[in-house]
Structure 1
Amino acid sequence: MTPLKYLQAYPPQLQDQVRRLIDGNRLGEYLEKRYPGRHQIQSDKALYTYVAALKQEHLRNAPGIDKVLYDNRLDLTHRALGLHTAVSRVQGGRLKAKKEIRVAALFKEAAPEFLRMIVVHELAHLKEAEHNKAFYQLCEYMLPDYHQLEFDLRIYLTWRELAD
């Protein structure tokens, strides 16, 4: 039985369903049927605008975001699809924290639903640092089908790895 590293935390019956799709060479077909489109957000500027609009819609009182960009250095070997950071700098006599969100460049070619899921995940970290119950409730508030999208994103990552 092939280990599915992106799906290890899921129940065995779900993993078996994915394995059957892989064995039948139908994993790509499944993804194409569920997520046929590709988003048009290709530049860092467009990504910033997209993230800022989602933040404004759902998290008006959260700290502002200073920088948003696609990052070619984020990849699956680091187990990071997106990052949120607070870079502290001294300005005059004050310490100022700049909030940044970085999204793995592989999402330039992904379905819009996957990009939104990653952005929602990183935005949720503005309010909740840990992956706890409150964090996932916030993700669900911003994106009601968050958990299904996270699962399908893991299937997408499995498919990408098999294609390489």
Structure 2
Amino acid sequence: MAARNPAAPSNLLTLAEVLAELRVSRSTFDTWRTLGTAPKCIKLPEGRLFVGPRGGIMTDRTYLGMWHKARKKALNPYEAASPLAETPYALRHAAVSTWLGAGVPAAQVAEWAGHSVAVLLRVYAKCVAGQEDDAKRRIAEATRPKDG
């Protein structure tokens, strides 16, 4: 992690720290900003982006409040009343699970999710279960002699 700017207030979080705390990607945070539901951002010298309500530390309550506002704007009333994407992590977990279940190679999913392949498979191994028949079909197709 980069050294903190000594001129910056110590009670603010860098964007990287906020993303890690929220367990969301930069693209998710950027979507929140586009929707107008992201926490207040303060750009400090050297182009660093710090986040915090009224200049304070980002709390769980603050980011979940923003998340729920974004959900209400993005989802229809039926979806918003459901557990769909109830937390940022649930949405991320659903995306990674869906990619793996759809047969996207683990190395690609790991890259998109910011995981190593080992961590990805340890956490999401159950999502690749049941793909044996499809894998055998692809192997058979790849090894079948080509017609002339």
Larger strand percent: 1
Q: Which has the higher contact order (CA 8 A, sep 6+)?
A: 1
TM-score normalized by the length of structure 1 = 0.23
TM-score under structure 2 normalisation? 0.24
Q: Which has the larger radius of gyration?
A: 2
